[in-house]
Amino acid sequence: MAAIYYRRRIISMLAAILVGITFALQLPVMAEKQENPPEDGIRELLEQSLSVVEIDKEILRIQEKRKELLSTMTEAEAALHEQELRIADKREQAGDVIHAYYTGERDSMFTALLTMKSWTSFFQVLDYIDIIVSHDQSRMNDYIGEYRSMQDDYRKLEGRQTELAEVERRLKEQRERVQALEKNLEGQLNGRSDSERIRLLMKELTSFWETAGLAEVREYFKALSSAMGKLPGWVQDNKDMLEIKGFNYTIRVTEEKLNEFLREQDERFNQFSFTFEENEITAHGKRDGMEISVSGRYSIQDKPKNGIIFHVDELLFNGFALPDTTRQSLEEEFDLGFYPGLVLSFLKAKEVELKDGELIIKLSVSL
């Protein structure tokens, strides 16, 4: 494991050096971006090229989801067909039972019961009637059970059809989006004398992102997700952060304490720091030629379980903004939420805000 880790670190450093040399030789003006923003829009072109690559990945993810759904639906339709064949037989049996009672075919049994001349015969006929009625009831219950099961399966299939329609819509939307980006890029590049140089920069940036940048971002998100899972226990051990007034509970976490906690959990956060602004939290770090910045906000979630969920509003890699598809993918893969019920089982988050360098979570008692 250690050999793999150091091999990846070496690859990351070499990729960073390569991109650094490329940028230094071919685009020195970008190093002075803050003082002299380029008027030729090269940075925007590079950012768009990175978006094309990432949206292409989202298209592949959606296509895979579509393939899985279609496979599941095919299996469900085959199972429903088998179920329909089974229920047809049970429907016929149930119909025979209903017909027998409706036409009075079962009345002769009860008439016979009333004509018995001895208690022994009476109870023998009664047992016989009980067997027949129980058998009739079993047939009816079998039919009703199968029918209800089939109805549930049809509803599930309808749900998958709705999900498939949404997947198809997303796929069409992302395809149109990436086509528009590619068309815009080609249009701008075709009108430039330095198009080949920019294409090379696009290729280098994409390669650096895919071989080193994405892995680095994922490692930070993975470490952060792991740390957030330990946050409830940390709050329990630091009672000074928990205010109790009657049935109202408030957790207050300063950015200094959060940074201290994170650095205790993982050494990666020694080069990474969080800052709290008005309703926004930003994490920023730089290592091995890679600079990462994540900005977002918290919101209350009640289902599937109550907690505060982090939403990534902006993700920058070496100053280049990644598209919403990348942010959403990372959100789905890594849980950065905080769940008060893990601090005390009866607590429920009802409000969250970032104010004056503090993360403030207001809680209520869940009965």
pLDDT in tens, 215-273: 999 999 999 999 999 988 998 888 888 888 888 889 999 999 999 999 999 988 998 89
Q: What is the pLDDT of residue 217?
A: 93
Q: How far, in Å, CA of 367 to CA of 365, rounded?
A: 6
Structure pTM? 0.70
Residues of the chain with pLDDT under 50: 1-39
Q: How far, in Å, CA of 54 to CA of 294, rounded?
A: 17
**Secondary structure (3-state) at 302:** coil
Two structure tokens written together for 69: 């759904």
pLDDT digits (tens, 9 = 90+) for 125-174: 555 555 655 666 666 666 667 767 777 777 888 888 888 888 899 899 99
Two structure tokens written together for 40: 């030729």
Mean residue pLDDT across the chain: 79
Query: b/e string for 93-116 if b means 16 or more Cβ within 10 A?
Result: ebeebeeeeeeeebeeeeeebeee
Q: What is the pLDDT of residue 327?
A: 94
